[in-house]
Structure 1
């Protein structure tokens, strides 16, 4: 798999009949190891190990309905009150992050009202804090740690 611009973690990876799977610590099961999943698993570990977000507050592929279409967030982090705090959109390293990617996560946030948005292809990461008063997002160097 591609070397990413995130810390390196020890993952449980299995090869069964030439199909690689990776253990997801949130879903507690092995999932197909695609390039996008590689980025997602790194970001999950980054949130848990570096930023200290509890696994119990993280949801993977949380379903939502927008304009009668079913969508799924890659990673959704809740606060202790159970409301969305962070939405993370992961792309494969080969996918360039464009305005379309930001439009996608912004549409999700119209429904979820999270305070932070993150878009990453594992190589480039964009961290944004929502300014709901001005209806815009402010780019940050990172997101705060869980206890900040």
Structure 2
């Protein structure tokens, strides 16, 4: 996988498979998963959150259903006090632009799974909002402390 992402590199564990996409070890799901371009971004986000921003891996959830048929959020971080989602992250492949459509997808997920923050990323560009009222756009990723201290 090319590493043109703006997220920090990490010691990934890829397993090559002849004639098939490689597998990557997911620390949250504790299993190997197919390493698609979107998964490559998701794994970088997981390691960025846990390794740089203080998020506990035990409070992360990957590809969890929203309650709507077939809809799954890419990544959630849960508040340990309330056990409710505090952060939703929608990951896209690096070739996918972060458009209004991507934001609307994340907003639809948020309607079913409300969280304090929404982030959309393709691994190169990132956009973060603290859900309001009023909604506030951030120019960076929130740290774990910021996510759990927001009321």
TM-score, structure 1 as length reference? 0.92
**Residues in 2 aligned to 1:18 and 1:34: alpha-carbon distance in whole angstroms:** 14
What's the offset of the Cα at 1:119?
0.3
- Corresponding residue for residue 105 of structure 1: 106
| 2:48 paired with 1:46 | yes
Question: What are the equivalent positions in structure 2 for 1:17-36 lying under 5 Å apart?
Answer: 17-19=18-20, 20-36=22-38
Q: Which secondary structure state, in structure 1, belongs to the residue aligned with residue 42 of structure 2?
A: helix
Q: CA deviation at 1:65?
A: 2.1
How many equivalent pairs are there?
A: 143
Q: Compute the displacement of 1:50 (Å).
A: 0.6
Question: What SS does structure 1 have at the residue aligned with 2:73?
Answer: strand
Q: What is the aligned partner in structure 1 of residue 61 from structure 2? A: 59
Matches of 1:16 and 1:30 in 2, distance apart? 12
Q: Secondary structure at the match of 1:96?
A: coil
Instruction: Determine which structure has the larger strand proportion and give its number.
Output: 1
Contact 1:116 1:143 in 2 (8 A): no
Cα displacement (A) at 1:70 = 2.8
Q: Which residue of 2 aligns with 1:77?
A: 77
**What's the Cα RMSD here?**
1.2
Q: Report the Cα offset of residue 139 of structure 1.
A: 1.0
What's the TM-score once normalised by structure 2's chain length?
A: 0.90
Name the SS for the 1:100 alignment partner. Answer: helix
Unaligned residue ranges in structure 2 (runs of 5+): 147-151
Q: CA deviation at 1:106?
A: 0.4
Residue 70 of structure 1 aligns to a residue whose secondary structure is coil
The separation in 2 between residues aligned to 1:34 and 1:123, in whole angstroms, is 16
